[in-house]
Chain A
Amino acid sequence: MSTTIATTEKLVGKSIRRREDPRLITGTATYVDDLKLPGMHHACILRSPHAAAKIRSLDISAAQSHPGVVAVFTGPDVAGVGPVPCGASLPGLRVPHHAILATDRVYYVGHAVAVVVATDRYVAADAIDLIEVDYEPTAAVADPEKALEPGAPAVHPEWPDNVSFTYHQEGGEPDKAFAEAEVVVKQRITSQRLVPMPMETRGCVAEYHTAEKSLTLWSSTQIPHLLRTLVGQMLGLSENRVRVITPEVGGGFGCKLNVYAEEALAGFVAMKIGKPVKWIESRRENFLCTIHGRGHVDYYEIAARRDGTVLGLRLKLIQDLGAYQQLLTPAIPTLSVLMMPGLYKFRNISADIIGVFTNCVPTDAYRGAGRPEATHGVERMMDLLAAELNMDPAEIRLKNFIGNDEFPYATATGLSYDSGDYAAPLKKALDMVNYHALREDQRKAREQGRLMGIGISTYGEICAFGPSPATPAGGWESATVKIDPSGKVTVLTGASPHGQGEETTFAQIAADELGVSIDDVIVFHGDTAIVQYGIGTFGSRGTAVGGAALFFALKDLKAKIKKFGEMMLESDDITFSGGVCTCNKTGNTVSLAQIAGMSYRAMRLPVNEEPGMQATRFWEPPNFAFPFGAHIVVTEIDRETGHVEVSRYVAVDDCGNIINPLLVAGQVHGGVAQGLGQSLWEQAVYDDTGQLITGELMDYAVPKATSMPWIETGHTVTPSPVNPLGVKGVGEAGTIGCSPAVVNSVVDALSPLGVRHIDMPMTPEKVWKILQGERI
């Protein structure tokens, strides 16, 4: 073991390899499904094969008497458990009662109907097949626009119009802007439903300690503390008797930023049977029962002057909510509205959201959560406008960007953009592709009859969620830094990283601030009994909010270290740097280990100081942070088959200061992969009867390593004034910037044929049909 080495070389800004990776790539990480507790039982859930049906009767007797089965629970058994919570509130929002097991009706395919608990996972699965349910299927509706038609089947009979809420937001004078506009362009744009698809599905283990009346819940979640609060409420347990632990979490992408019925159900079962119980979601269940993302039908109108100056943007947004409100379901489209102006000086905005119930699994946050949809909309509209005015898409963007001297910039949607130099990444990306030469190549390609396209998107996003008044559950984050008597450092973060790499970046920050080796820092998270309350990891907030909390905790601790240094060196003129306090007069030093040791032995203490070497901070951000960037995509379309080949992908992102370039690149790559997935391949397809017909990985096309183009990344750096690290967040940027660039590129390729717009995913058959002159 190395000792504390004084380093002066800064780690922040360096491409340090992820400290998480060795355990992940050697298969030694512990996921929920790796847990084995003494006496542990297994739960398996019976799910509805119907999208809408009444449950006439349910016969569990055969399952109950199946050898190895310990218990079977159905809807009435769990009536005392609180409903699955919806944390978002909007005026007039209709929130259906969301029981953890269905009682008299089922509302979507996959709706949980009964749970079997057995000594063995295989036995539990067998017993599920023995439950007889007499369903009376009723008419279902899976398409949000059809659900709005008069006479459509009612998802919830009590609300025949299928409308959960409507929401209007306006800024400036949109009607006037449209009346005075020289050009108005309209387009219907969809963002299809997607399956978030973390490699690790959901799962949990619950253990109830009868004597202590306390519950330990291991869950693959992004929000251990919120889960603890909410599951405690659902189960009627006092919060201090619930402990949530997140072991390794194999990806979330937003779908684990939620509180699910199964988490409470596992707790309920453990309390009932007095034995630990494990539930692991199958991939099938993951498709059917874990939230989906997107699900928009958007009607856009853009108003502009003939010179390309944008004046106003109107949006009617139809959000497919699914059958229930999960934690943030209705809030997601409101984020689209907030970001609809993009990076441009739209002074006049009007948006109407209609939240629609369908007989599908609920939608909720998926990588980007509302902002990819918004960016897709505004970036498509900018291209449509450019096409209408015969302007270059780069030029129209440069013309309308918010200027560098206008920050903080108050948007027409009520946000205050923190900082930006919006032209910089676009110019850099244009340089990287050698734009003029590329257009020349395109001209030649067209002469040869080839369909080559160049697509640009310049995205802005809202992240680092966020000031507490603007978030449902608090937007701050917490950090504790502890220095052991031997001088080793432990960081406890309230954020709950699950693949983002904060165990590395937070260690970089702590090592730099304390001047110790990164090997002497460990970062711990995801156990509510050990880590102070925190909000979690989502919305590109981990570093921008959690890292800032860490920064302030380190600052407090450094002040205490200095006081100990002053006492031990008997001087008030000392410097703490490189992990040692040095007396500026004598040159005498004391190391951090000596100081920490002194603070715990406490033979002597500085005036007004307590023993120990630990600091905790809860940091409330004053604003969101607003990263931005430019993606340029070159595509070539196979005329004969409609196949889209991405021949070049350039991503220039500005996420403020960069703590670790390697991790930023990784986030951009992953984000772009998911953006390409939406653009070209992925879609959760429900048929007219509400069956999810892309219900397995053999039909739902997640991008693979072999389907990815080479991604050229670049950066510009515009620090955020919002937090002391100057960082902005980059977890979702790749996804947000990607899809409009790809669609713009394909539309550009097809523009000689008069094509103006294509909805995603741009499958070969869809493109081929367009090439055949069909209107899609």
Chain B
Amino acid sequence: MIPQNFAYSSPNSLEAALDQLADGSAKVLAGGMSLIPLMKLRLASPESLVDLRRVPGLKYIREENGVLHIGAMTTHYEVESSVLVRATCPLLAEAAASIGDVQVRNAGTIGGSVAHADPAADYPASLLALEASVTLASKAGERTLSLEDFLVDTMTTALEPGEIVREVTVGVERNDVGTAYAKMLQPASGFAIVGVAARIGTGFARIGVTGLASKAYRARNVEALLEGGADAAAAAAVIAEGIDANSDLHASADYRRHLATVYAARAIRQAISRAR
């Protein structure tokens, strides 16, 4: 449980951080809740770490023109407890609150969570349902992608070497929409065995799923059924169709598929009940 030697730097400007990351050999350190355990097990042995914790301007939650901007270094706890997030995007606060335990939420960051792209991470389900975007920054400049395009596969994202997640943006929740996140948690880690986020309005549905497949995804088939007037159970029933479901010692593929339908129905029903 002792990592290999690594170089460490803690730059105090974004520019310096991006400089140090430019050649792609260093790893970003955010909350360290995923990276440090891997390093201690020597499953990850980066030669150098660039810690973003002292970089100013990466930790914020603000609303501009109906868009909620969340700095990459904003912790799960900060999102969960933000009055602004709760008021303007309750689904995100609900997702943040469901992550791991208090210690993890105090350290882990939204940028780290999406960059790590763990197939069982909680955030992505909600962020996909929210049609979130991520803004990436590198020495060469910035680009913005939809989260859907950003998440490529298991622990694989569109991040290029030298690039960091700078910000996550979501729209302020529509007035007619109710939202909910429902998950079965794995009792050891708290990660989602299956988690489903639902945003439901009149003739409007967005469903994000995590834990079920190699990456979080939007269940467009469920959305279409709901938008076409199907009830929660009928819509939820198709959520795992065509999905090559994950399997591990906590849940077989069949059980996960089943859970996805159960939690989808629960999330949808709750979202509907919360819609005004």
Let me know if chains A and B touch directly in the complex, using CB atoms closer than 8 Å.
Answer: yes
Q: Provide the residues of chain B in CB contact with A121, threshold 8 Å.
A: 2
User: Which residues of chain B come closer than 8 Å to A707, judged between CB atoms?
Assistant: 187
Contact B1 A284 (CB under 8 A): yes
Contacts of B2 in A (CB 8 A): 44, 121-122, 125, 282
Q: Which of B15-23, B73-81, B252-260 interfaces with chain A? A: B252-260
B184 nearest CB neighbor, chain A only: A641
Taking the complex as formed, is A681 at the interface, i.e. its CB lies under 8 A from any CB of chain B? yes
Grouping DSSP codes into helix (H, G, I), strand (E, B) and loop, the B interface class, with mixed when no group exceeds half, is loop
Give the residues in chain A near B251, CB-CB below 8 Å.
765
* Chain A residues whose C-beta falls within 8 Å of the C-beta of B1 in the assembled complex: 282-284
B184 pairs with A643, CB closer than 8 A: yes
Could you give, for residues 276-317 of chain A, a 1 whenever the CB lies within 8 Å of some chain B CB and a 0 otherwise?
000000111000000000000000000000000000000000
A685 beta carbon closer than 8 Å to chain B: yes
Using A122-B2, A685-B249, A706-B101 as known contacts, say yes or no to A765 and B255 having CB atoms under 8 A apart. Answer: yes
Contacting pair A699 B189 (CB below 8 A):
yes
Question: In the complex, what residues of B have CB within 8 A of residue A681's CB?
Answer: 187-188
Asked if A698 contacts B189 (CB within 8 A), the reply is yes
Name the CB-closest residue of B to A641. Answer: B262
> Contact at B249–A694, with CB atoms within 8 Å?
yes
User: What is the CB-to-nearest-CB distance from B49 to chain A, in angstroms, rounded to a whole number?
Assistant: 15
Q: Give Cα A697–Cα B187 distance, bound, in whole angstroms.
A: 10
Contact with A along B243-272 (1 / 0, CB 8 A): 000000111100100110010000000000
Most A Cβ at <10 Å: residue of B41, B187, B249: B187
Say yes or no: is A73 at the interface (Cβ < 8 Å to chain B). Answer: no
What separation, in Å, do the CA atoms of A763 and B259 have in the docked complex? 14
Across the interface, name the chain A residue whose C-beta is closest to B1: A282
Determine whether B65 belongs to the interface, using a CB cutoff of 8 Å to chain A.
no
On whether A702 and B255 interact (CB within 8 A), knowing A126-B4, A693-B249, the answer reads no
- Chain B residues within 8 Å of A600, by CB: none
CB-based A-B contact count at 8 angstroms: 52
Residues from chain A with a CB closer than 8 A to the CB of B5 are 122, 126
Q: What residue in chain A is nearest B259 (Cβ atoms)?
A: A641
A700 is an interface residue with CB less than 8 A from chain B: yes
Q: Which residue of A lies closest to B256 (CB)?
A: A765
Q: Measured between alpha carbons, how far is A768 from B4 in the docked complex, in Å?
A: 43
Chain A residue numbers with a CB within 8 Å of B101 are 704, 706
Q: Does residue A447 face the partner (Cβ distance < 8 Å to B)?
A: no
Q: Taking CB as reference atom, which chain B residue is nearest A125? A: B2
Chain A residues within an 8 Å CB radius of B258: 768
Closest chain B CB from A769 CB (angstroms) = 8
* A5 is an interface residue with CB less than 8 A from chain B: no
* A764 and B189 within 8 A (CB): no
A699-B262 in contact (CB<8A): no
Shortest CB–CB separation between residue A194 and chain B, in angstroms?
14
In the complex, A282→B1 CA distance in Å?
Answer: 6
- Closest-by-CB residue of A relative to B193 is A764
Q: Contact: B252 with A765, CB < 8 Å?
A: yes
Point out the residues of chain B lying under 8 angstroms from A765, CB to CB: 250-252, 255
Report if A701 contacts B (CB, 8 A). Answer: yes
- A768 touching B255 by the CB < 8 A rule? yes
Provide the residues of chain B in CB contact with A640, threshold 8 Å: 262
Query: In whole angstroms, what is the CA distance A706 to B105 when docked?
Result: 15
Report Cα–Cα, A707/B187, bound state, in Å.
8
* A701: chain B residues within 8 A (beta carbon): 186-188
Residues of A within 8 A of B184 (CB): 641, 643, 764
Whole-angstrom distance between the alpha carbons of A396 and B4 in the complex?
A: 61
Taking CB atoms, residues of chain B closer than 8 Å to A122 are 2, 5
- Nearest B residue to A698 via CB reads B189
Q: Cβ of A125: which chain B residues have Cβ within 8 Å of it? A: 2
| B249 lies within 8 A of A699 (CB) | yes
**A110, chain B: closest CB distance, angstroms:** 14
Nearest B residue to A126, CB-CB: B4
- Which of A283, A640, A769 counts the most chain B CB atoms within 10 A? A640
Contact partners of B42 in chain A: CB under 8 A: 129
- Can you list, as one digit per residue, whether each of B181-205 has a CB less than 8 Å from chain A (1) or not (0)? 0001011110100000000000000
Q: How far is the CA of A694 from the CA of B186 in the complex (A)?
A: 13
Assuming the A-B contacts A126-B5, A284-B1, A641-B262, are A699 and B255 also in contact, with contact meaning beta carbons closer than 8 angstroms in the complex?
no
Residue of B nearest to A122 (CB): B2
Chain A proximity of B162: nearest CB distance (Å): 28
Given contacts A641-B262, A704-B101, contact A698 B255 (CB under 8 A): no
Bound Cα distance from A693 to B248, whole angstroms: 10
User: Which B residues are CB-close (under 8 A) to A129?
Assistant: 42
Which residues of chain B are within 8 angstroms of A706 by Cβ–Cβ distance?
A: 101
- CA separation between A680 and B188, bound complex, in Å? 12
| B1, B42, B252, B262 pick with most chain A CB within 10 angstroms | B1
A-B contact pairs, 27 of them (CB 8 A): A44-B2, A122-B2, A122-B5, A125-B2, A126-B4, A126-B5, A284-B41, A641-B184, A641-B262, A643-B184, A681-B188, A693-B249, A696-B41, A697-B188, A697-B189, A698-B37, A699-B249, A700-B188, A701-B188, A702-B188, A763-B250, A764-B184, A765-B251, A765-B252, A765-B255, A768-B258, A769-B255
Closest 10 A/B residue pairs (Cβ): A282-B1, A701-B188, A701-B187, A125-B2, A698-B189, A640-B262, A765-B255, A681-B187, A699-B188, A765-B251
Residues of B near any A CB (own CB < 8 A): 1-2, 4-5, 37, 41-42, 101, 184, 186-189, 191, 249-252, 255, 258-259, 262
Given contacts A122-B2, A693-B249, A702-B188, list 6 more A-B pairs with CB under 8 A.
A282-B2, A681-B187, A694-B249, A700-B188, A701-B188, A765-B250
